[in-house]
Each structure stands twice: as C-alpha cells, then as structure tokens.
Amino acid sequence: MRRIFNRLYDEDPYLDAPLADVEVDMQGWGSTHFFFRGIIEHLKPSMIVEVGSWKGRSALHMADLCKASGIENLEICCVDTWLGTSGIWARKGQVKEELKLKNGWPMLYFTFMKNVVEAGHQDVITPLPLPSDMGAQVLKRMRARPDLIYIDAAHDYDNCLRDLRNYFDLLDDNGILLGDDYETIDGVTEAAQEFAREKELILVGTRSKFVLSKNVQHVHAMQALLAEIDARRARVAEAKARAAEEASAGEAGGEEA
C-alpha cells in the first residue's frame, strides 16, 4: 500500500500519460553511489522521500535495490518541480536540450515518467511535482515519517540548509538522511556542516555524499561502511602501483638485455 500515492491521487498519473514520443534518458550524477546500497541493505526502508529527482535515475536505482532486498510495501516519493534550476536556465544554449522545452515549458516531467515506466517501477515511485518547501509541508500534513530521505535539490547554501531543516524534522527517529554534492559544491558542504552543528549530529561525509541520522547506531554503521570502502580503494591503488612498478622494472630489464 502506497500511503502517499493514495493520499495524492484518485487516478494513477502514469495511466494514459503522453509518453509515446518521449525518449528514455537516464542521465544523472552520482546516482549509484555506494551509500545507496549500504543504507538500503542496513536500514531496509519501506518509505523513501527523494528531494530533487531530475530524470529519476537515483530513484530508480533505489527501487532496484529495495526490490532486490525483498522490501515490502515500498514507496519512493519524488519531490521535484521538473522545471530545472537557475543554473540550467542561465545557459541558454543548453536549456532546450536539457529541459525538453515545448512552447517554452519544460517537458522534463515526462522524461522522468518515461524512465520510471520503462524501468517497471511505476508501482512504487510516487511523483510529487512541487518545490521542495511545499513538498515538505504536504508530507508534514500527511504525517509522513520516511525511513530514508535523499536530499538533492537546490545546490546553494541557503536553499540546501532550508531543505535539511524542513526534511530532517520529517525523518523517522530510526531513519537516515542522505545528501548529495558533499565536497563537490561549496554551498552544499557548508550547509551540511552547519546543519550537523546546529542539531549536534555526527556527519559522515565523503566526496559526493553525506549521511546524517538521529540514531547513533546508524551513524556508526555508515562510518564502518565508509572505512571499508576507503580501505578497499587503498588496496586497489596499492595493487595498481605495484603492477606499474613491476611493469616498469620489466621494461628496464628488457632494455639492459
């Protein structure tokens, strides 16, 4: 049972959607980061809220992971206007291509829907086409308590901090908040760090993603996951360096011969 979907819609928005001429376009950024799998395998969330969905690639990845884990009563609510960002609109040469403009209006929502339908996840993904602050108000009125919230909307300090404040209050006490663009966009990094200080939370961060939780056990689990990934990367880098040294030594020996 999709609680949010049933509160929002009398009719299925995917039903008879004008998608025949819409192309599948799975373009995205950081949509398969290791934290997604780590959090879902650890937490087994049944209600996920994604704030900022773009073309839906990360939501689809989470749906894949959750279904593979056998999670029942799954719902992933995607909050987005699908109208693009100020950064995209400022780049006139890219606006039409990126946002699929028609008569000056972005058709990106239908790209999102096409991707969801083609992936076969329309049974679990609920679109909520609103700005992030309004989406938070709607979910609050519904008394939604997501197990996992993924923040990937505005990328400036003020709006990112606002999203963190709005959505962390909705998070279940046993939930996890995952954020995008940590250490890659200064405003996001500063907002995440400020919010962690404000709430006296431990921030678990790596390039591209950060994690916050009200449950310290989840924090420790994500720290352990990050340490494991870092150690694995170090071993791979060491092995590559060793192989390069051996190859270089072999070439040198061949030249001497």
The answer to whether 175 touches 166, Cβ cutoff 8 Å, is: no
Q: Helix H segments across 101-148?
A: 108-119, 132-141
* CA angle, residues 80, 83, 87, in degrees to nearest 5: 105
In b/e form, how buried is each residue of 86-121, taking b as 16+ CB within 10 angstroms? eebeeeeeebeebbbeeeeebebbbbbbbbbbebeb
CA distance 69 to 126: 20
Tell me what the mean pLDDT of segment 127-147 comes to. Answer: 98
φ, ψ for residue 234 (rounded to 5)? -65, -40
With a threshold of 0.85, does the pTM exceed it? yes
Of 184, 134, 202, 201, the C-alpha closest to 163 is 134
Question: Is 80 exceeded by the pLDDT of residue 256?
Answer: no
pLDDT value at 225 more than 70: yes
**Residue of 136, 216, 202 whose CA lies nearest to 173:** 216
User: What pLDDT was estimated at residue 27?
Assistant: 84
Q: Are 81 and 106 in contact (CB under 8 A)?
A: no
What is the rounded CA–CA span in Å between residue 93 and residue 96?
A: 7
Looking at residue 102, the DSSP 8-state letter turns out to be B
Q: What is the pLDDT of residues 37-81, one digit of tens each?
A: 999 999 999 999 999 999 999 999 999 999 999 999 999 999 999
pLDDT digits (tens, 9 = 90+) for 81-110: 999 888 788 877 778 778 888 888 899 999
**What's the mean pLDDT when you consider all of the chain?**
93
Average pLDDT of the segment spanning 173-184: 97
Q: Which of 216, 169, 215, 210 is nearest to 190 (CA)?
A: 210
Residue 177 in tokens: 């908040």
- Can you state the percent helix, strand and coil of the chain, rounding each to 5? 50, 15, 35
C-alpha dihedral, 45 to 47 to 53 to 55, nearest 10°: 80
CB 178 within 8 A of CB 219: no
Taken in order of first residue, the domains within the chain and their CATH numbers are 3-214 (3.40.50.150)
C-alpha–C-alpha distance, residues 205 and 202, integer Å: 10
